[in-house]
Amino acid sequence: MRTGPVRPARTGPALLLVTALLAALLGLLPGVGAEAAAAEAAGDAPAAGDPAPNPVDFTGAGGTVLHGLVLAAPGAKASTPGPGLVMLPGAGPGPLAELRAAAESYARHGVTVLVFDKRTDGYSTTHRDYGQLADDALAAVRLLRTRPEVAPDRVGLWGLSEGAWVASLAATRTTEAAYLVTVGAVGLTPARQQAWAYRGYLRHAGVSGSLVTALSDTSVRLLSAAGLFPEADYDPVPVWERVRQPVLAEWGTLDREAAPEESATIIRRALDRGGNTHYTLRTVPDVRHNLHLTRDDGYDRPDQLPADYAGTESAWIQRLATDLPAASADPAPHQDTRSLALDPLPWYESTWFEVVATLLCLTGFAGYALSGAVRRLRRRPRPAALPRAARWAALAGTAALLGALGYLLFLMLTAAMFPGPVLFGRPVVWLAVQLLALFALGAAAVAAAGARRERAALAAASLADRARLGALLLAGLVFLPWALSWGLLLP
């Protein structure tokens, strides 16, 4: 979920380093969204019947100043205050502009809404704290309760995907939130949910085989173990058991991200165990994860609301003023496959082991190739004792290793939505990387055989040349199990 919730693994240090750098870059993006939203809020006055936008600032967790927008229901008056709603986005930078269209729909149905830019301090691709985000949400609730057009005892929380984890947690920390609405709430841990979503998107693209395992299992487990998948093991079940407010939880029938059949069942059972008898679990037909329209069976992300968006939800909110709902649940959306538990990494797949193996491969392959390039630039002849196959092993090995890690990183950052052209069940990029890996191992084997034949000539070579070749052959030896573990040598 860019909803995420990165997010998100068995990944080498090159992938971990690039992820960290991208995290730092992405951490700057919410400011851009805030500026765009502020410019939008300061634009033309709303047309008759449109919600009136009012920019607001408030202090969230740790003293962070957050910038938001209150969209007042048309005709809202202090003399007849109505319900209010604080909306929380899914994973990612989360500028308020992402939810503005949805917020305006709620406002047109008589619910005054507060949306705000997600914090940049303490939230990034590789770090976040749901407890901190929940405190931000509660600060927004307190602000909305002070608005003259809002009845303070009728303010609720709304959360999408990752925002549903945050909203439900916030609801357990206060009595000031009168109700809870969630969209695409996940009952699994973030790591397990993300693994399920990766498999679904790859399968939809026609991908099968080793890449599915490499992305949805190996990568997710290693990133979690390395601490680069934020809140990977967050368990929402104990939180839902403590929710006492009336709940409206919704899932689209074409939700490909929340494992909706499992999540709806898990959340309903948690509410029942906690004694909550005022919930409505609703299945919305023909919409995707965020209840938006879809043109590709839920596997795309068009930003288009259904014509009746927020109508049923707003009516449910309005009825709370006179009557609490009895517990009810629609049949949960169907899942073609179930989510799978992610086992802890054994020692030979641990982060440190992966880092050492990747560094050995990079040092041997890339070091040999770079030192050879420097020699050619200086117009020095290649030592005759060095096998020619060693050069090809170095080039192919470097390309295969960096290509595999880079492609997996790309898939993670794009939620596996764009694997590229697929041939024989494999994306063309992955197939090319697999062929490079096979070529690198073959060339390394030929180089090793040549070195054995030329032992006498190698003995007369310089220490630097012997070290280069030794590092290359060691890299080839380590690369074999490394490539197997990542599926480069598997169908």
The predicted-structure confidence for 359-399, as pLDDT tens digits, reads as follows 999 999 999 999 888 877 877 776 667 888 999 999 999 99
**pLDDT tens string 393-419:** 999 999 999 999 999 999 999 999 999
- pLDDT bucket at 462, cuts 50 / 70 / 90: confident
**pLDDT tens string 52-96:** 899 999 999 999 999 999 999 888 888 899 999 999 999 999 999
Residue 3 to residue 194: CA distance in whole angstroms? 10
pLDDT value of position 21: 33
- pLDDT bucket at 456, cuts 50 / 70 / 90: low
pTM of the model: 0.86
pLDDT value of position 8: 36
Whether 263 has a pLDDT exceeding 90, the answer reads yes
Average pLDDT, the chain: 88
- pLDDT bucket at 213, cuts 50 / 70 / 90: very high
DSSP character for 215? Answer: I
Whether 18 has a pLDDT exceeding 60, the answer reads no
Q: Average pLDDT, stretch 276-294?
A: 98
Q: Average pLDDT, stretch 21-28?
A: 35
Lowest mean pLDDT among 61-75, 327-341, 369-383, 441-455: 369-383
Q: Which of these, 210, 211, 198, 165, lies nearest to 299 by C-alpha position?
A: 198
What is the percentage of the chain residues whose pLDDT exceeds 70? 88
Q: Give the ranges where 109-229 is alpha helix by DSSP (H).
A: 130-145, 162-171, 190-204, 210-213, 220-225
DSSP character for 77? Answer: B
DSSP character for 426? Answer: E
Helix (H) or strand (E) holding 157: strand 150-160
3-class secondary-structure state, position 350? coil
pLDDT value of position 346: 83
Q: Which of these, 115, 110, 135, 14, lies nearest to 67 by C-alpha position?
A: 115
pLDDT value of position 378: 75
pLDDT value of position 377: 80
3-class secondary-structure state, position 284? strand
Residue 254 to residue 50: CA distance in whole angstroms? 30
Lowest mean pLDDT among 4-8, 311-315, 319-323, 450-454: 4-8
Q: Average pLDDT, stretch 301-307?
A: 94
Cα torsion through 114, 120, 126, 127, rounded to 10? -80
Q: Which residue has the tokens 């058991």?
A: 241
- Structure tokens belonging to residue 29: 């993006």
Report the Cα 37 to chain-centroid distance in Å: 23
What is the percentage of the chain residues whose pLDDT exceeds 90? 77
pLDDT value of position 384: 67
Q: Which residue has the tokens 């729909």?
A: 105
Q: What residues form DSSP beta bridges with 112?
A: 84
Burial of 202 (0-12, 13-18, 19+ CB in 10 A): buried
- Structure tokens belonging to residue 421: 């052209």
pLDDT value of position 109: 95
User: CA angle at residue 86 from 248 to 150, to 5 degrees?
Assistant: 100
- pLDDT bucket at 20, cuts 50 / 70 / 90: very low
pLDDT value of position 453: 82
Q: What residues form DSSP beta bridges with 296?
A: none
Which residues, other chains included, contact 128 with Cβ-Cβ below 8 Å and sequence gap of 6+? 5, 122, 230, 231
Which residues, other chains included, contact 214 with Cβ-Cβ below 8 Å and sequence gap of 6+? 10, 408, 486, 487
Whether 7 has a pLDDT exceeding 80, the answer reads no
Whether 460 has a pLDDT exceeding 70, the answer reads no
Stronger pLDDT, 338 or 18, i.e. the higher one: 338
Q: Average pLDDT, stretch 238-256?
A: 98
Residue 1 to residue 361: CA distance in whole angstroms? 33
- Are 56 and 150 a contacting pair, CB within 8 Å? no
Whether 199 has a pLDDT exceeding 90, the answer reads yes
Question: Residue 284: what are its φ and ψ, rounded to 5°?
Answer: -105, 125
Question: Residue 178: what are its φ and ψ, rounded to 5°?
Answer: -85, -20
Which residues, other chains included, contact 159 with Cβ-Cβ below 8 Å and sequence gap of 6+? 87, 88, 165, 166, 167, 168, 180, 181, 182, 183, 185
pLDDT value of position 382: 67
Lowest mean pLDDT among 74-78, 145-149, 475-479: 74-78
Q: Is the dihedral of CA 266, 268, 273, 274 positive or negative?
A: positive
Q: Which of these, 60, 86, 182, lies nearest to 141 by C-alpha position?
A: 86
Whether 36 has a pLDDT exceeding 50, the answer reads no
Whether 39 has a pLDDT exceeding 90, the answer reads no
User: CA angle at residue 208 from 291 to 428, to 5 degrees?
Assistant: 100
- Structure tokens belonging to residue 15: 């992938």
Whether 23 has a pLDDT exceeding 80, the answer reads no
- Are 246 and 83 a contacting pair, CB within 8 Å? no
Which residues, other chains included, contact 266 with Cβ-Cβ below 8 Å and sequence gap of 6+? 187, 188, 237, 240
Report the Cα 153 to chain-centroid distance in Å: 35
- pLDDT bucket at 452, cuts 50 / 70 / 90: confident
Lowest mean pLDDT among 27-41, 52-66, 129-143, 308-322: 27-41
